[in-house]
Chains A and B, each alone.
Chain A
Amino acid sequence: QVQLQESGPGLVKPSGTLALTCAVSGGSISSSNWWSWVRQPPGKGLEWIGEIYHSGSTNYNPSLKSRVTISVDKSKNQFSLKLSSVTAADTAVYYCARYIAVAGSGWYIDLWGRGTLVTVSS
């Protein structure tokens, strides 16, 4: 079955750029899904960061839009997140996820990666 696996540095310096990759295995990233990033600061709730379609179309959380870039690499069956100008407030577990749609039920996440903790600290 399809699985998602996040990878990237666990520690990023303040003002630097956080960069993560999500590898999609067991299925194609070119399927009719949106591929998304969601984060969760320690002890807090979930925050949607943004998403990408295999065509390259993207949507971002308005509160993060100026700092976020999500890209897709179909040849490697993976998608990536870059978050610039990070501060301690960006410390969180970052999840990659798959949004699917069922007719009449809207778009929802049916598949999550295990998540990776990224700490912003000098």
Chain B
Amino acid sequence: QSVLTQPPSVSGAPGQRVTISCTGSSSNIGAGYDVHWYQQLPGTAPKLLIYGNTNRPSGVPDRFSGSKSGSSASLTITGLQAEDEAEYYCQSYDSSLGGSRIFGTGTKVSVL
């Protein structure tokens, strides 16, 4: 019962820019909790892509960027590449019902 909503899928041609939204509420993103993003390639464990809304871990290409505003966050891939085809998840914290870490519903990025 995720409370972070993402579009089921987005697609783009190589080199294009795509943006994935992560919409929350006043008990999670809107309350100021940080948003993190993970990339999951088929058959593998997720991998950290963005932490603390905007920060890239070492080794993550700079074509990946994150932002946060109000009760929503976004992940942007600038200069889409074939190897970016994967599932992407946002993650935050929700203070309702005693508090819980929460994941977004997930977005499949397809490279046309």
Contact = CB atoms under 8 A, between A and B. Distances in A.
A113 B91 contact: no
Contacts of B100: 48, 59-62
A63 interface: yes
B89 to A, nearest CB: 6
A48 B89 contact: no
B51 A62 contact: no
A105 B45 contact: no
Contacts of B104: 45
B103 A113 contact: no
* A-side interface size class: 20 to 34
Contacts of B98: 62
A109 B38 contact: yes
B89 A45 contact: yes
Given A105-B51, A107-B93, A45 B105 contact: yes
A109 B99 contact: no
A108 B51 contact: yes
Contacts of B105: 45
Given A62-B100, A102-B52, A114 B91 contact: no
A47 interface: yes
Contacts of B112: none
Contacts of A106: 33-34, 36, 51-52, 92-93
Given A48-B100, A48-B102, A59-B99, A110 B57 contact: yes
A53 to B, nearest CB: 14
